[in-house]
């Protein structure tokens, strides 16, 4: 088993991995193994009993989500398995949004964040109202160009009455 979009191996727990959990919740979900090396070999974790109590609370308190966190054993070595589900609504960690892509985790900002948020609520930018826009702000020429390009691209069909 190799690290990928859905699987991450960590030898020890660090609170910065909460960002990875947020990224997985915002992507397709996934599993983080604590006590495995980068190749997925169990190396064990010394404080497994403590972690299995603390980690779920940290996740719940910082993101409001409740993943499955359990201890597993292989060759007399304990390790932690954190299973994160994909969430339908955007999840933030300390006011920032993260997204898992491949085996990387990155903060979502700018126009990428706009697209991510709209996508999660099933909207597109053209669905949003423009505040303070009036009828006088609309251009007949712009509508004409829009219609022509929409028909040409196949996104709009002209009905003849």
Note the pLDDT tens digit of each residue in 93-142.
999 999 998 888 899 888 888 888 888 877 776 766 778 888 788 888 88
Assign residue 158 a region (left: φ > 0; alpha: ψ between -120 and 50; beta: otherwise). beta
CA distance 107 to 92: 10
Report percent pLDDT > 90 for the chain.
Answer: 57
Token pair listed for 126: 């053209």
Q: Evaluate whether 10 touches 83 at the Cβ level (below 8 Å).
A: no
Q: What is the pTM of this model?
A: 0.75
Q: Domains (ranges, CATH) in the chain?
A: 7-120 (3.30.950.30)
CA-wise closest residue to 147 among 157, 138, 139, 137: 157
Residue 159 has pLDDT above 80, yes or no: no
Long-range contacts of 117-122 (CB under 8 A, 24+ apart): 117/90, 120/88, 120/89, 120/90, 121/89
Note the pLDDT tens digit of each residue in 21-50.
999 999 999 999 999 999 999 999 999 999
């Amino acid at each position: 088993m190799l690290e990928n979009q859905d699987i991450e191996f960590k030898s020890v727990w660090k609170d910065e991995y909460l960002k990875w959990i947020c990224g997985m919740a915002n992507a397709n979900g996934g599993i983080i193994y604590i006590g495995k090396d980068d190749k997925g070999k169990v190396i064990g974790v010394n404080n497994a009993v403590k972690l299995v109590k603390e980690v779920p609370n940290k996740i719940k308190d910082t993101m409001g989500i409740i993943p499955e966190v359990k201890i597993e054993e292989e060759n007399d070595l304990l390790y932690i398995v954190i299973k994160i589900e994909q969430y339908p609504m955007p999840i933030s960690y300390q006011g920032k949004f993260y997204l898992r892509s491949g085996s990387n985790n990155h903060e979502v900002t700018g126009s990428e964040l706009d697209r991510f948020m709209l996508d999660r609520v099933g909207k597109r930018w053209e669905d949003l109202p423009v505040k303070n826009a009036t009828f006088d702000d609309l251009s007949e020429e712009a509508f004409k160009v829009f219609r022509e390009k929409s028909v040409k691209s196949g996104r709009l069909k002209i009905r003849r009455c």
